[in-house]
């Protein structure tokens, strides 16, 4: 698994053993750069920065910096799907970008019914849908990439015990397409969770700020907790060897 970590003065790119949490390879970012979204595209790792307006491009095997792109505004989440990069910036908009030069192709606004969903953070593209964590919540939206419409919610409330006081927000989603395994974690979370999604009836937990009456809820069931380890992860990318 590849991780981007974001913390002032010690942001990094990491390769991590999925079963043990052992860090196998590390590349430190400049001290003034805050690491953010990460995705794997054609054996290149592309890593956003929060406010530096730079995306770093690395060789997957060596972590050698091979290119970099610039963009305007904040960098939050990053994923790829249908031969495009998809980027969030903390608003309700997602930007589709060309993976070769990072040029903007198009934007969509994410809505649940008529309501815009802001603070979109971590992203993952799974089976033709975009999964997006809403910052400072335990909710992940399932989004149609053509229209930006939310088609369901994943509710991870209670996944991390409340006594984990140092743990911060949920903000890591990773999917291994080869095995179908789905993982979530958060900033300073001591555990990486593998979860299984279970369809359920509509849940009465969304205010008018988040949902219209047409949205289906999704619940989670915990399949396995990975060995405990501290993580500063802002984004995680699972990939098969």
Q: What is the CATH number of the domain that holds 164?
A: 2.120.10.30
Number of domains in the chain: 1
Q: How far apart are CA 33 and CA 12, in angstroms?
A: 9
Q: Is it the case that residue 140 has pLDDT exceeding 70?
A: yes
Highest mean pLDDT among 166-170, 174-178, 201-205, 215-219 belongs to 174-178
Q: Is it the case that residue 205 has pLDDT exceeding 90?
A: no
Q: Is it the case that residue 89 has pLDDT exceeding 70?
A: yes
3-state SS, the chain, equals CEEEECCCCCCEEEEECCCCCCEEEEEECCCCCCEEEEEEECCEEEEEECCCCEEEEEECCCCCEEEEEECCCCCCCEEEECCEEEEECCCCEEEEECCCCCCEEEEEECEECCEECCCEEEEEEECCEEEEEECCCCEEEEECCCCCEEEEEEECCCCCCCCCCCCCCEEEEEEECCCCEEEEEECCCCCCEEEEEEECCCCCCCCCCCCCCCCEEEEEEEEEECCCCCCCEEEEECCCC
The pTM for the full model equals 0.85
CA–CA distances in Å: residue 52 to residues 30, 41, 101, 137, 181: 11, 22, 17, 25, 33
Q: Bigger pLDDT: 233 or 99?
A: 99
Q: Is it the case that residue 153 has pLDDT exceeding 80?
A: yes
The whole-number average pLDDT for the span 18-22 is 90
Average pLDDT, the chain: 85
Q: Is it the case that residue 231 has pLDDT exceeding 60?
A: no
Q: pLDDT at position 164, please? A: 66
Q: Bigger pLDDT: 234 or 152?
A: 152
Q: Which of 32-36, 48-52, 205-209 has the lowest mean pLDDT?
A: 205-209
| Separation of CA 64 from chain center | 23
Burial tier of 2 (Cβ tally within 10 Å: 0-12, 13-18, 19+) = buried
pLDDT tier, 106 (very low <50, low <70, confident <90, very high otherwise): very high
Q: pLDDT at position 188, please? A: 85
pLDDT tier, 225 (very low <50, low <70, confident <90, very high otherwise): very low
β-pair type (120-126, 44-49): unpaired
Q: Is it the case that residue 208 has pLDDT exceeding 60?
A: no
Q: pLDDT at position 236, please? A: 58
Q: pLDDT at position 160, please? A: 82
The whole-number average pLDDT for the span 15-35 is 95
Residue range(s) defining the domain that contains residue 56: 2-237
Going by C-beta distance under 8 Å and a sequence separation of 6 or more, which residues neighbour residue 66?
44, 57, 58, 59
Q: Which tokens belong to 21?
A: 């949490």
Q: Bigger pLDDT: 54 or 191?
A: 54
Q: Is it the case that residue 206 has pLDDT exceeding 60?
A: no
Q: pLDDT at position 210, please? A: 37
CA–CA distances in Å: residue 12 to residues 23, 97, 144, 181, 226: 11, 23, 31, 24, 21
| Beta bridge partner(s), residue 224 | 194
Owner of token pair 């998809």 = 86
Q: Which of 99-108, 165-174, 221-230 has the lowest mean pLDDT?
A: 221-230
pLDDT tier, 187 (very low <50, low <70, confident <90, very high otherwise): confident
Q: pLDDT at position 199, please? A: 74
């Amino acid at each position: 698994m590849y991780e981007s970590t974001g913390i002032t003065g010690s942001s990094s790119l990491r390769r991590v053993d999925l079963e043990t949490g052992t860090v196998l390879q590390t590349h430190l970012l400049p001290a003034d750069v805050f690491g953010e979204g990460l995705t794997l595209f054609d054996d290149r790792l592309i890593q956003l920065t929060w406010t530096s307006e730079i995306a770093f491009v690395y060789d997957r095997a060596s972590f050698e910096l091979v290119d970099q792109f610039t963009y305007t505004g904040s960098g939050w989440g990053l994923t790829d799907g249908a031969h495009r990069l998809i980027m969030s910036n903390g608003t309700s908009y997602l930007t589709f970008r060309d993976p070769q030069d990072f040029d903007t192709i198009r934007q969509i606004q994410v809505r649940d019914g008529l309501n815009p969903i802001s603070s979109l953070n971590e992203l993952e593209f799974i089976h033709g849908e975009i999964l997006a964590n809403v910052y400072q919540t335990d909710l992940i939206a399932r989004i149609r990439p053509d229209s930006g419409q939310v088609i369901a919610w994943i509710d991870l409330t209670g996944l991390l015990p409340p006594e984990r006081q140092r743990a911060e927000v949920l903000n890591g989603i990773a999917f291994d397409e080869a095995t179908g395994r789905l993982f979530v974690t958060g900033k300073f979370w001591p555990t990486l969770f593998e979860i299984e999604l279970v369809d359920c009836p509509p849940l009465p937990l969304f205010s008018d700020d988040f949902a219209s009456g047409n949205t289906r809820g999704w619940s989670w069931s915990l399949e396995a907790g990975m060995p405990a380890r501290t993580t500063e992860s802002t984004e995680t990318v699972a990939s098969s060897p």
